[in-house]
Amino acid sequence: MRKSKKLRVGLFGFGRTGAMVTQEMINAPDSELVWVVRKSNRHAGEYASRLQGYEFDEGMIHWVEDIDQAFFVRYPVDVIIDFSASETVNLYKHAADLGIRFLSAISNYSRDDLAELKKMARKTAILYSPNISIGVNLLLLTSLVVRSVIPQADVAIMEEHFSQKPDISGTALRIAKKLKVKPEECVKSIRVGGIVGKHEVLFGLPNQTLRLTHESINRGAFGRGALAGATWLMECERGFYTMEQLLAVRFRDALSELR
Amino acid sequence: MRKSKKLRVGLFGFGRTGAMVTQEMINAPDSELVWVVRKSNRHAGEYASRLQGYEFDEGMIHWVEDIDQAFFVRYPVDVIIDFSASETVNLYKHAADLGIRFLSAISNYSRDDLAELKKMARKTAILYSPNISIGVNLLLLTSLVVRSVIPQADVAIMEEHFSQKPDISGTALRIAKKLKVKPEECVKSIRVGGIVGKHEVLFGLPNQTLRLTHESINRGAFGRGALAGATWLMECERGFYTMEQLLAVRFRDALSELR
Amino acid sequence: MRKSKKLRVGLFGFGRTGAMVTQEMINAPDSELVWVVRKSNRHAGEYASRLQGYEFDEGMIHWVEDIDQAFFVRYPVDVIIDFSASETVNLYKHAADLGIRFLSAISNYSRDDLAELKKMARKTAILYSPNISIGVNLLLLTSLVVRSVIPQADVAIMEEHFSQKPDISGTALRIAKKLKVKPEECVKSIRVGGIVGKHEVLFGLPNQTLRLTHESINRGAFGRGALAGATWLMECERGFYTMEQLLAVRFRDALSELR
Amino acid sequence: MRKSKKLRVGLFGFGRTGAMVTQEMINAPDSELVWVVRKSNRHAGEYASRLQGYEFDEGMIHWVEDIDQAFFVRYPVDVIIDFSASETVNLYKHAADLGIRFLSAISNYSRDDLAELKKMARKTAILYSPNISIGVNLLLLTSLVVRSVIPQADVAIMEEHFSQKPDISGTALRIAKKLKVKPEECVKSIRVGGIVGKHEVLFGLPNQTLRLTHESINRGAFGRGALAGATWLMECERGFYTMEQLLAVRFRDALSELR
């Protein structure tokens, strides 16, 4: 019998982002990190919480090669969050039958693996968002509603990142696509110093401007976003959801209070 | 018989703001400024368009002392826009029976005059917004939906205006009220140089920030906002509306396309 | 005998920018606009001050075709400010012998006309600045000194202007040149709505950023800048100066007080 | 005989800031961290580099209770950097005779301890800066020179920090003092979320604004600033210096190249 009402989370991925996500999850009061699966077998059997300096046990580390179907039955969770890699979906695709929900933050899915993820949505609720931070998705969604009110406004999207980041920000491209503006004309990329990540959507009218600006302080935002998404996902019917769809529900609720 | 499908507008107020509003209205292709009522009898009988250097007639100027009930019948309009003063409502309150809609941008109503305006809403559609610029209302409404999604975020509201502006911005106070934060703690007012007007709502989370920033370039924004508001008002049933309610309808439409 | 100690100014150019400059000069307490020379003979013999709604006489308007050498003797000024066109230098080049100083804000000089202006610098003090606003030159100069301290920082230059502005901002290009960075890599141009003009120089280091941002509210900045430049020019020996050189003198004075 | 030309550094302080400073120093190619002195005797005799995951030895850790005069002779350095506490000056005050230079970043000196530090300046070069980041000092110094050119501009200073930071930013107060504006009127403090640190100095003129904005990404900026300061300090005569004085030298050099 489950003793606590906390959201039980299983996590795939313990790399640079995964580790920060782990930390946020261990800190979060309303959830419990049941296990973490990592690519290497280093520290397998130990607790992620101990590795990060905490004095209690949370998030037992498992080696990915040890995962089979029985694993998901033996170590039950409410939701599985995936920050690892495209092919991982094949490890847990059959777990959809167990009533577990899934949240994937993989940014570079192969066509086949993404198809598998979508297939799982026939059986359970799936949230897929390559950028799971709440702030970035709020930026996207507010930009969308603003554009619907002032379609005549000119749009520019500026993104600033650390100098080594090679490509145009995927988030900026996604916003451009959603706003139906041409990235090659509207997106301006700045690469300087150690900027963690900043995105600005600028709407220009003849007499005024409106700027929506999201700035990342550190990668912990992914962990918080994943937990919020997972919480919202618990209330969803089976189906394939995006972060902005889940936010849109909250937007509509807020707007209906205005009536 | 009305020859054009243009929105026919009557305007009260020809002061500093009123004059800029007039200009925007004369420029707008989908509306016709039928008349302007001003406090002084200077240039009465002339056209506002001529005073502003145009080579055609639009917006005949009338002296406020000449306005009686017959005026609204003799010079029919679809909507009356009021940028003048609190007491003006008493001049046109009976015109609500004529099916005319009303948009008021008066910021300092007396209690009685505002009551009169609200009473008119039993007979026709009334839009009341002390700051009629679309951008400022978009700022308010996006702030509101963002706050509904991240109620745990800290909020700060910064407003910058020209050095002579004496009080805290009414718009900033209105945003604070809607977001249910204490103005004395959250609103920071900057008064320097000739800044036309800037409002920023900052949401702070542990790992990220979101800023929504509106900047006025000039007062023409009021004219454009009034026209947009008037256009939306034409579709409304009788009742008393705020600008954010009319925007909220557009927001909901945009959000439902996401499903 | 000259009765006042005010700076006596003659102005070439009465177009869109020239008219705003005129207004700033009429408003300025420490200078007197003696005359304005314009391309058309409209309003010749009238006062610029009257055209702009003032109740006193300042800035008699002359037609450019009426200007000969005698003009500069008959209507003496301390400094001639030129906002007109490249070829105008030929009208006043011999006036350098009269001890008059010259400030030119022409942005598109022909090679020959610029050579004439430089030749005049053997006889008097010439200030040449295609963008005469103090703020823009402060931006340039502070960027320059910052870069000298942190040459290792990455640099980006962002400029935002109204959507119709066709080319990359000349000011942005000038800053890039002074900072010795490649414009095609570092300058990002945004064109939206009615933005008057914004330039930002961003220095990025691994752990911090520094942004220097200039924003124009309206074109009156050129008038104020021209007057400040003219005032500083009065203290200069003969020679050919740029605005940033005159500012650099003030910077050095401020810095030496730190010792 | 000294084998390398690297700047040899000794560091007092190994707390939260000290640890990040240590890391920057270990990474820096032109300096060598010879030793670190910490308050606790934990890890004494080990290398700071090893504790931070490096595979080489740099920065042997000493317990503060073990420091006597002989220490500075036995473990010679070019410069001592102090990020620890007010009273530490008493530990090394006699080392000024050894030709070592000193850089102190202590923000809360007692009157007596600061007097000791100043007394040392009779014998060697001392750099004292409570905020040693280059960016913050560049912000201070550029603000100062800008103000000297446009003393008529209105000034506002905005600072944003994480919500738990209790007091007004010392840096903002220091800038206000240097610019001779009243902090209670000009400084606006924002406390939201996890903002590391942002300071903006805004100059407002009737037709334009100039903003100088420094943003911290993380505390590593202190380490880089300390190393830059220490390097500049090596060229200084004995005396008591501030960071802005050392920057001012570089500013003047840059400005003189404009002539």
* Cα A204 to Cα C14: distance, rounded to the nearest angstrom: 30
Look at residue C4 in the predicted model and tell me its pLDDT.
Answer: 54
Sequence-separated (6 or more) residues with CB below 8 Å from residue C123: C96, C97, C238
Segment D74-81 mean pLDDT = 96
B2 and chain A in contact, CB less than 8 A: no
Tell if the CB–CB gap between C192 and A158 is shorter than 8 Å.
no
**Do both B97 and B195 map to the same domain?**
no
B65 domain-assigned: yes
Residue A259 lies in a domain: no
Q: pLDDT band for position A179 (50/70/90)?
A: very high
Q: Is B193 on the interface with D (CB under 8 A)?
A: yes
Contact B211 A206 (CB under 8 A): no
DSSP β-bridge partners for residue D213: C211, D200
pLDDT digits (tens, 9 = 90+) for A238-248: 999 999 899 99
Tens digit of pLDDT for each residue in C54-71? 999 999 999 999 999 999
Please check whether residue A2 lies inside any domain of the structure. Answer: no
For B145-178, the pLDDT digits (tens) are: 999 999 999 999 999 999 999 999 999 999 999 9
Same-domain status, A100 and A167: no
Which domain does C245 fall in, by range? 7-132+220-254
In a domain, D150, yes or no: yes
Q: Does B258 contact A at CB distance below 8 Å?
A: yes
Is the pLDDT at C3 greater than 60, yes or no?
Answer: no
Q: Helix B243-256 and helix A243-256: axis angle, to 10°? A: 150
Of A190-199, B35-44, B109-118, C250-259, minimum mean pLDDT range: C250-259
The total number of structural domains that make up chain D: 2
Is C115 near chain A, with CB under 8 Å? Answer: no
Region C192-198: what's the mean pLDDT?
96
> What is the tens place of the pLDDT at every residue in C148-177?
999 999 999 999 999 999 999 999 999 999
Indicate the DSSP class of residue D190. E
Looking at the structure, tell me whether residues C40 and C18 fall in a common domain. Answer: yes
The reply to whether B195 touches chain C by the CB within 8 Å rule is yes
Nearest CB to B194 within list C193, C195, C217: C217
CA B226/CA B224 separation, integer angstroms? 5
A127 and A188 belong to one structural domain: no
Helix (H, G, I), strand (E, B) or coil at B153: coil
CB C61 within 8 A of CB C44: yes
Q: Are residues C121 and C189 in the same domain?
A: no
Q: What's the rounded mean pLDDT across residues D174-202? A: 97
Together in a domain, D28 and D86 = yes
CA A83 to chain C, closest CA, distance in angstroms equals 26
Do the chains contact at C145 and D148, CB–CB below 8 Å? no
- If asked whether residues A227 and A115 sit together in one domain, one would say yes
Question: Kind and range of the H or E element at D71?
Answer: helix D69-74
Residue D259, in any domain of the structure: no
Region D113-120: mean pLDDT is 97
CATH number reported for the structural domain that contains residue A36 in this entry: 3.40.50.720
A193 interaction partners in chain D (CB closer than 8 Å): 217
* Residue D102 structure tokens: 């000193």
> Is residue A1 predicted with pLDDT exceeding 70?
no
* Closest residue of chain A to D196, computed from CA coordinates: A217
**Domain identity same for C208 and C114:** no
Q: What is the pLDDT of residue C2?
A: 44
- Our CA-based measurement puts residue C214 at a distance from the nearest CA of chain B, in whole angstroms, of 12
Residue D2 domain-assigned (yes or no): no
Identify the pLDDT of residue C66: 94
Let me know whether C121 and C149 are in one domain.
no
Nearest to B191 by CA among C112, C244, D154: D154
Interval A6-65: pLDDT, tens:
999 999 999 888 888 898 899 888 999 999 999 999 999 999 999 888 899 999 999 999
User: Which domain CATH number covers D176?
Assistant: 3.30.360.10
Residues of chain A positioned with their CB less than 8 A from the CB of D195: 217
Q: What is the pTM of this model?
A: 0.92
Q: How far apart are CA C61 and CA A186, in angstroms?
A: 45
| CA atoms within 13 A of residue C225's CA, in its CB half-sphere | 32
In this model, does residue B32 exceed pLDDT 80? yes
Residues 72-91 of C with CB under 8 A from D: none
One domain, residues D107 and D126: yes
One domain for residues C35 and C101: yes
Read off the pLDDT of each residue in A156-184 and give the average, rounded to a whole number. 96
Task: Say whether C112 sits in a helix, a strand or coil.
Answer: helix
Question: Which residues of A are less than 8 Å from D193 in CB distance?
Answer: 217
Is the confidence at residue D259, as pLDDT, over 70?
no
Q: Is residue D1 part of a domain?
A: no
Nearest chain C Cα to D248, which residue?
C255
Please tell me which chains touch B, using 3 or more CB pairs under 8 Å as the contact test. A, C, D
Q: Nearest CA to CA, how far is B124 from chain C (Å)?
A: 35
Mean pLDDT of D191-201: 97
Residues of chain B above pLDDT 90, percent: 81
Is it the case that residue D13 has pLDDT exceeding 90? Answer: yes
pLDDT, position C258: 73
Residue D243 pLDDT greater than 60, yes or no = yes
C196 in contact with B at a CB cutoff of 8 Å? Answer: yes
Instruction: Classify residue B256: in a domain, yes or no.
Output: no
Give the mean model confidence (pLDDT) for residues A115-136: 95
Share of chain C above pLDDT 70, in %: 98
Residues A166 and A236 in one domain: no
Q: Does B231 touch chain A (CB under 8 A)?
A: no
User: What pLDDT shows up at residue C1?
Assistant: 38
Determine the pLDDT at residue C19. Answer: 86
- Confidence at residue C26, expressed as pLDDT on a 0 to 100 scale: 92
Whether A120 and A126 have beta carbons less than 8 Å apart is answered as: yes
Ranges A184-188, C198-202, D41-45: which has the least confidence: D41-45
Q: Does A209 touch chain C (CB under 8 A)?
A: yes
B180 to chain C, minimum CA–CA distance in Å?
A: 32
Give the other-Cβ count within 10 Å of D53's Cβ.
7
Prediction ipTM score: 0.90
Residue of C nearest to D153 (CA): C135
Supply the pLDDT for residue C52.
84
Q: Give the integer Cα–Cα distance in Å for C181 and C204.
A: 14
Assess A213–B contact: CB distance below 8 Å, yes or no. yes
Q: Is residue B17's pLDDT more than 90?
A: no
